[in-house]
């Protein structure tokens, strides 16, 4: 068995030795998550129509602050929702917002039987754009008179909070100019070796 140690061993690698720019496209740079099993109810309306949901529609149920490390990164937002609605065929609508933006970035909806607990998920990709802190919000609403219960059924919590909902944001590295330069240098090195062999 070979033990890697000493002054050049893996135990000597310093924090920050691998830069974000060195990560290949598709690498996960960071992950943030907010999970809650707290029960809540809302009667606010999110219209079920062909318009983009607005920030005035629905009720905030989950928020997560996130700061990207690279402005050209992709952010993957994953949402898990547990809940119910008191009206048969009532639509439970989840909307994703950023900061104080008026229009939703993404939407997911589900309809089912009255007072039946459901779990549904949705994912959405957005561009990081910058490296400033932003707050991502999930709003919940219904399309008709009735009550939507978050993490419960008909206004009653279930499973002691273990049945939880969440929002997760993953920052994913994209193709960098450094990657192009690295590949270019590798190809040049191989070309020079081939020329020398000839």
Structural domains in the chain, sorted by start: 24-197 (2.60.120.1340)
pLDDT at 195: 53
* Cα 59 to Cα 181: distance, rounded to the nearest angstrom: 48
pLDDT at 153: 96
pLDDT at 135: 98
Give the predicted TM-score (pTM) of the model. Answer: 0.81
Scan for tokens 């450094």, then name that residue.
178
Scan for tokens 């989950």, then name that residue.
62
Q: Would you call 161 helix, strand, or coil by DSSP?
A: helix
Q: What are the strands, taking DSSP E only, across the chain?
A: 28-36, 40-42, 59-67, 74-85, 91-98, 106-111, 118-127, 133-142, 148-150, 152-153, 156-157, 165-172
Q: Which residues of the chain have pLDDT under 70?
A: 1-18, 176-198
Do 82 and 118 touch, CB atoms closer than 8 A?
yes
pLDDT at 133: 98
Instruction: Classify each residue of 71-91 as buried b or exposed e, where b means 16 or more C-beta atoms within 10 Å of its C-beta.
Output: eebbbbbebebbbbbbbeebb
* Cα 182 to Cα 47: distance, rounded to the nearest angstrom: 51
pLDDT at 185: 52
The residues near 8 (Cβ < 8 Å, ≥ 6 apart) are none
* Cα 189 to Cα 94: distance, rounded to the nearest angstrom: 53
Both structure tokens of 127: 């561009």
Scan for tokens 């008179």, then name that residue.
145
Instruction: Give per-residue pLDDT as tens, 3-37.
Output: 555 555 555 555 666 677 778 889 999 999 999 99
CB count, 10 Å around CB of 103? 12
pLDDT at 128: 97
* Cα 171 to Cα 55: distance, rounded to the nearest angstrom: 24
pLDDT at 131: 97
Instruction: Give per-residue pLDDT as tens, 68-79.
Output: 999 999 999 999
């Amino acid at each position: 068995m070979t033990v890697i140690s000493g002054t050049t061993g893996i135990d000597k690698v310093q924090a920050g030795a691998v830069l974000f720019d060195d990560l290949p496209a598709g690498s996960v740079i960071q992950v943030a998550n907010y999970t809650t099993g707290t029960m809540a109810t809302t009667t606010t309306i999110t219209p079920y129509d062909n318009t983009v949901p607005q920030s005035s529609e629905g009720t905030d149920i989950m928020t997560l602050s996130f700061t990207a490390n690279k402005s050209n990164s992709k952010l993957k937002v994953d949402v898990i929702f547990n809940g119910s609605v008191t009206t048969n065929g009532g639509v439970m609508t989840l909307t994703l917002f950023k900061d104080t933006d008026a229009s939703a970035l993404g939407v997911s909806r589900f309809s089912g039987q009255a007072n039946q607990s459901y779990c549904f998920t949705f994912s959405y990709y957005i561009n990081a754009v910058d490296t400033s802190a932003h707050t991502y919000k999930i709003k919940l609403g219904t399309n008709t008179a009735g009550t939507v219960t978050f993490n419960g059924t008909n206004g009653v919590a279930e499973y002691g909070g273990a049945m939880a909902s969440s929002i997760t944001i993953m920052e994913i590295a994209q193709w960098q100019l450094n990657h192009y330069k690295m590949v270019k240098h590798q190809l040049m090195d191989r070309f020079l070796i081939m020329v020398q062999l000839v």
